[in-house]
């Protein structure tokens, strides 16, 4: 640790299952962690922020099989591929210091050593497992834990599972875990403690099945071939292997373990507050200082899930509204410990009210007035008034409250504090009426101080808002030309007196006001386009297994025909009526259901291919003598058809064989 540092700080997100692309719910936790990491860095901590991907397990193996690729290829695509996990975190400005993949060699080898250690100390033993398994959640359940016979976490069907397996003596740690949960601040918010104790510990903690033999995509138990380590054991230890525990890849364990906090979603609190500390106890390792179980983001009142088709795409929203606006919205709107209901209307409402009206307006008005009245240069001098002291006192109060709330992970409350100051500053403009002060020379010194107070309120708010909206905060500080040394946590001395000097520059519109109706329609359109883009680019008809004997095939009389006339058939939006030269001297009439694909005039003069010996057929009371050949396929979900056209040098009537 360097001398200037306040200390080390280790914060983690859950590592994500790369079984499909991440949605806004995943982004929620990562944005929160990033905000906390940035806040701690701002305060002068030496921060290690870990995130990553949890790549083993039956679900991944099944999905890879479905996709016809190896599990490694499957996860590589979702983690490293275009618009994958890494791309998303880059787009969303996630400042992680380390990214772990549980398929990384050093992690795999470390897990094998860890498993063996717990086997050697007697906490892992061999037995036989009979119970229920939820494949999507990779969770074992006992009969009594099921809800209506289904997985208590996701509500889906569970499977019977019976196999020889290794078990971890979780039951042995029940009392110590209960004590940890009930008598310390290890798990927050407090409501989660009751949930864990009442639902899992009091009914009796059973030993945990920690190996599987029915699939192979996992860390192999090296002393017992055929067994792979239960994915949650593999996953939980990422928090330590990523620091160098049981491996030589990193050397940060001493500096950063125990973790200051693990941020996790509420449905995985059980793993983090019961199983994880029990395993650490088994190995005699220090426990993380805190596990914080945040709530879930639902969409229009329903759980977000791919199968429901209601997942919200963070790419789409970031691209449309800006990454900072999205980051801000997530933490401003939903109290971190509770569930929240995401709607696009709420997102846009927050952008308009808080960002465009309150913050954006304050900055643009202040810069515009300083330009208009002082050419952007707020030099020495001025004249204070008692009102300024009130604003100054509020700024100090806001900073103190903000810090208190951030340290409790109460992001929405911390943001409320910043908005108290921003609202006060907007009101200060109305109270001081700079446009009137600007009218007479005698009131110009007062105007100068008013402008300095506004700049100072904006500067302080921008510093506090930096962890939430790093890019926008920087833009604001640039518009006020705040020097680097006045952008940090320690630069909060309120300074709007006669000595203070400011210099402003007109900058971009920070948060343009949104036309909600228009934006909702645009979002629908973008969603439809994205869904289309996800369809396989090209689909061809499946090949037929049924064989046609050669003689039968040769019976089809395929000829080159030239289009003499082509027209739409009245009252039919499908049919085109062709008059064709087939070389026989008598024009041939064919009706074809291709009006959706061609305009009649495009086809006149073209040389096409027709089967000419089909029996005549009546269509819309007209006779069709044959069929025109075309090629069909599907592209991005849309049916495509191309008539087979021959070189025009081929004469009408030429036989195709
Ligand atoms: N791989 C495990 C974590 C292992 S940590 C040692 C996992 N992965 S996950 O991809 O399914 O979920 C990652 C995180 O996203 C979890 O904390 C989960 O709670 C969170 N969320 C997934 N959907 C969510 C919402 N709709 N809302 C908020 N967070 C949610 O679990």
Closest CA to ligand 1's atom 8 = 16
To the nearest 10°, report the CA torsion of 462, 466, 468, 474: 80
Cβ atoms of residues 369 and 450 within 8 Å = no
Give the Å distance between the CA of 40 and the centre of ligand 1.
Answer: 23
Interacting residues of 305 by C-beta distance below 8 A, sequence separation 6+? 311
Which atom of ligand 1 is nearest the CA belonging to 263? 17
- State the sign of the Cα–Cα–Cα–Cα dihedral 314, 316, 319, 322: negative
Integer Rg of the chain from CA: 34
pLDDT of residue 302: 82
Which residues in 432-451 are b (16+ Cβ under 10 Å) and which e? bebeebbeeeebbebbbbbb
Ligand 1 pocket test, pick from 29, 331, 340 with the greatest ligand atom count within 8 Å of Cβ, gives: 29
pLDDT (mean) for 277-301:
95
pLDDT of residue 3: 53
pLDDT of residue 560: 97
Closest CA to ligand 1's atom 30 = 25
pLDDT single digits (tens) 322-350: 999 999 999 999 999 999 999 999 999 99
Q: Is beta strand 655-656 parallel, antiparallel or unpaired with respect to 558-568?
A: antiparallel
Check if 153 has its Cβ closer than 6 Å to any atom of ligand 1: no
Spatial CA neighbour of 590 closest among 627, 564, 561: 627
Euclidean distance between CA atoms 312 and 314, whole angstroms = 6
Which atom of ligand 1 is nearest the CA belonging to 266? 19
pLDDT of residue 140: 74
pLDDT of residue 264: 98
Interacting residues of 186 by C-beta distance below 8 A, sequence separation 6+? 180, 273, 277, 287, 288, 289, 290, 291
Euclidean distance between CA atoms 51 and 138, whole angstroms = 20
Instruction: State the residue for tokens 């906390």.
Output: 36
Ordered alpha helix ranges (H), 535-654 = 550-554, 600-603
Closest CA to ligand 1's atom 11 = 17
Other Cβ atoms less than 10 A from the Cβ of 575: the count is 20
Euclidean distance between CA atoms 177 and 214, whole angstroms = 31
Q: Is the pLDDT of residue 535 over 80?
A: no
Give the Å distance between the CA of 574 and the centre of ligand 1.
Answer: 50
Closest CA to ligand 1's atom 5 = 14
311 confidence band (pLDDT: 50, 70, 90): confident
Give the Å distance between the CA of 20 and the centre of ligand 1.
Answer: 12
DSSP state for residue 575 in the 8-state scheme = -
pLDDT (mean) for 271-285:
98
pLDDT (mean) for 383-396:
96
Which residues in 607-625 are b (16+ Cβ under 10 Å) and which e? bbbbebeeeeeebeeeebb
CA angle (577 as vertex; 575, 580 as ends), nearest 5: 145
Closest CA to ligand 1's atom 18 = 265
Check if 54 has its Cβ closer than 6 Å to any atom of ligand 1: yes
Euclidean distance between CA atoms 544 and 643, whole angstroms = 21
Q: Is the pLDDT of residue 105 over 60?
A: yes
Q: Is the pLDDT of residue 628 over 70?
A: yes
**pLDDT greater at residue 325 or residue 144:** 325
Euclidean distance between CA atoms 88 and 82, whole angstroms = 9
The whole-model pTM stands at 0.81
Q: How much helix, strand and coil, in percent to the nearest 5, is found in the chain?
A: 45, 20, 35
Packed helices 71-80 and 58-67: angle between N→C axes, nearest 10 degrees = 90
pLDDT single digits (tens) 179-201: 999 999 999 999 999 999 999 99
Which atom of ligand 1 is nearest the CA belonging to 267? 19
DSSP state for residue 199 in the 8-state scheme = I
Q: Is the pLDDT of residue 640 over 60?
A: yes
Ligand 1 pocket test, pick from 14, 84, 297 with the greatest ligand atom count within 8 Å of Cβ, gives: 14
Other Cβ atoms less than 10 A from the Cβ of 92: the count is 19
pLDDT single digits (tens) 22-73: 899 999 999 999 999 999 999 999 999 999 999 999 999 999 998 899 999 9
Check if 235 has its Cβ closer than 6 Å to any atom of ligand 1: yes
Closest CA to ligand 1's atom 16 = 265
Q: Is the pLDDT of residue 376 over 60?
A: yes
Give the Å distance between the CA of 196 and the centre of ligand 1.
Answer: 18
Detail the DSSP E strand segments found in 515-557.
538-539
Check if 55 has its Cβ closer than 6 Å to any atom of ligand 1: no
Check if 100 has its Cβ closer than 6 Å to any atom of ligand 1: no
Spatial CA neighbour of 125 closest among 162, 169, 163: 169
Q: Is beta strand 261-265 parallel, antiparallel or unpaired with respect to 228-229?
A: unpaired
606 confidence band (pLDDT: 50, 70, 90): very high
Check if 14 has its Cβ closer than 6 Å to any atom of ligand 1: yes
Give the Å distance between the CA of 123 and the centre of ligand 1.
Answer: 28
Spatial CA neighbour of 111 closest among 99, 100, 122: 100
Give the Å distance between the CA of 426 and the centre of ligand 1.
Answer: 39
pLDDT (mean) for 468-497:
93
Euclidean distance between CA atoms 409 and 404, whole angstroms = 9
Q: Provide φ and ψ at 626, rounded to 5°.
A: 120, -175
Q: Is the pLDDT of residue 304 over 90?
A: no
Give the Å distance between the CA of 335 and the centre of ligand 1.
Answer: 17
Which atom of ligand 1 is nearest the CA belonging to 26? 15
Which atom of ligand 1 is nearest the CA belonging to 239? 6
Euclidean distance between CA atoms 48 and 8, whole angstroms = 8
Spatial CA neighbour of 58 closest among 117, 139, 152: 139
H helix or E strand, kind and range, residue 633 = strand 630-635
Check if 27 has its Cβ closer than 6 Å to any atom of ligand 1: no
Cβ atoms of residues 137 and 305 within 8 Å = no
Q: For the chain, give the mean pLDDT.
A: 93
Helix (H, G, I), strand (E, B) or coil at 123: coil
Which atom of ligand 1 is nearest the CA belonging to 29? 29
CA angle (562 as vertex; 559, 563 as ends), nearest 5: 130
Check if 296 has its Cβ closer than 6 Å to any atom of ligand 1: yes
């Amino acid at each position: 640790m360097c001398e200037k540092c306040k200390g080390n700080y280790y914060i983690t997100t859950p590592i994500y299952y790369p079984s499909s692309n991440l949605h806004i719910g995943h982004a929620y936790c990562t944005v929160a962690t990033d905000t906390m990491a940035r806040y701690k860095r701002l305060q002068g901590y030496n921060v290690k922020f870990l995130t990553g991907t949890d790549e083993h397990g039956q679900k991944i193996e099944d999905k890879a099989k479905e996709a016809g690729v190896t599990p490694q290829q499957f996860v590589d695509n979702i983690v490293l591929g275009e618009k994958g996990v890494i791309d998303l975190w880059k787009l969303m400005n996630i400042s992680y210091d380390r990214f772990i993949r549980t398929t990384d060699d050093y992690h795999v080898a470390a897990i094998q050593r860890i498993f063996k250690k717990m086997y050697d100390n007697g906490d892992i033993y061999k037995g036989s497992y009979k119970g229920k398994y939820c494949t999507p959640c990779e969770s074992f359940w006992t009969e009594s834990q099921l809800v209506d016979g289904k997985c208590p976490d996701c509500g889906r069907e569970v499977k019977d599972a019976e196999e020889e397996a290794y078990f971890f003596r979780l039951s042995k740690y029940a009392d110590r875990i209960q004590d940890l949960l009930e008598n310390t601040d290890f798990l927050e918010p407090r409501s989660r403690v009751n949930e864990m104790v009442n639902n899992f510990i009091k009914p009796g903690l059973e030993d945990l099945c920690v190996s599987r033999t029915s699939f192979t995509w996992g860390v192999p138990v090296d002393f017992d071939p055929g067994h792979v380590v239960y994915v949650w054991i593999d996953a939980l230890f990422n928090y330590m292997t990523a620091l160098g525990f049981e491996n030589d890849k990193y050397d940060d364990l001493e500096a950063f373990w125990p973790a200051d906090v693990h941020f996790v979603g509420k449905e995985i609190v059980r793993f983090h507050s019961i199983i994880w500390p029990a395993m650490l106890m088994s190995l005699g390792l220090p426990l993380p200082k805190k596990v914080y179980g945040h709530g879930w983001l639902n969409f229009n009142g329903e759980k977000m899930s791919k199968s429901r088709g209601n997942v919200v795409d963070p790419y789409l929203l970031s691209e449309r509204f800006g990454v900072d606006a999205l980051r801000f919205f997530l933490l401003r709107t939903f109290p971190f410990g509770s569930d929240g209901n995401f709607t696009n209307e709420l997102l846009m409402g927050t952008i308009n009210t808080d960002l465009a009206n309150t913050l954006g307006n304050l900055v643009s008005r202040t810069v515009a007035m300083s330009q208009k009245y002082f050419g952007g240069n707020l030099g020495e001098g001025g004249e204070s008034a008692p009102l300024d002291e009130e604003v100054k006192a509020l700024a100090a109060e806001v900073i103190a409250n903000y810090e208190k709330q951030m340290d409790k992970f109460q992001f929405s409350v911390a943001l409320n504090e910043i908005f108290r100051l921003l609202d006060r500053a907007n009101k200060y403009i109305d109270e001081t009426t700079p446009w009137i002060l600007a009218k007479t020379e005698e009131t110009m010194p007062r105007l100068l101080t008013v402008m300095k107070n506004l700049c100072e309120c904006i500067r302080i708010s921008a510093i506090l808002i930096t962890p939430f909206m790093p890019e926008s905060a920087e833009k604001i500080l640039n518009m006020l030309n705040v020097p680097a040394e006045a952008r940090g946590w320690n630069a909060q001395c309120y300074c709007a007196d006669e000595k203070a000097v400011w210099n402003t520059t007109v900058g971009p519109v920070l948060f343009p006001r949104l036309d909600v109706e228009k934006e909702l329609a645009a979002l629908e359109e973008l969603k439809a386009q994205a869904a289309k883009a996800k369809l396989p680019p090209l689909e061809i008809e499946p090949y037929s297994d049924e064989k046609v004997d050669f003689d039968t095939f040769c019976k089809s009389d395929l000829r080159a025909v030239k289009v003499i006339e082509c027209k739409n058939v009245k009252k039919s939006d499908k049919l085109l009526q062709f008059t064709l030269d087939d070389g026989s001297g008598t024009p041939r009439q064919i009706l074809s259901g291709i009006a959706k694909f061609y305009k009649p005039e495009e086809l006149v003069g073209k040389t096409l291919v027709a089967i000419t010996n089909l029996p005549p057929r009546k269509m819309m009371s007209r006779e069709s003598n044959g069929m025109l050949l075309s090629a069909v396929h599907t592209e991005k979900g849309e049916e495509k058809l191309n008539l087979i056209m021959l070189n025009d040098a081929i004469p009408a009537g030429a036989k195709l064989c």
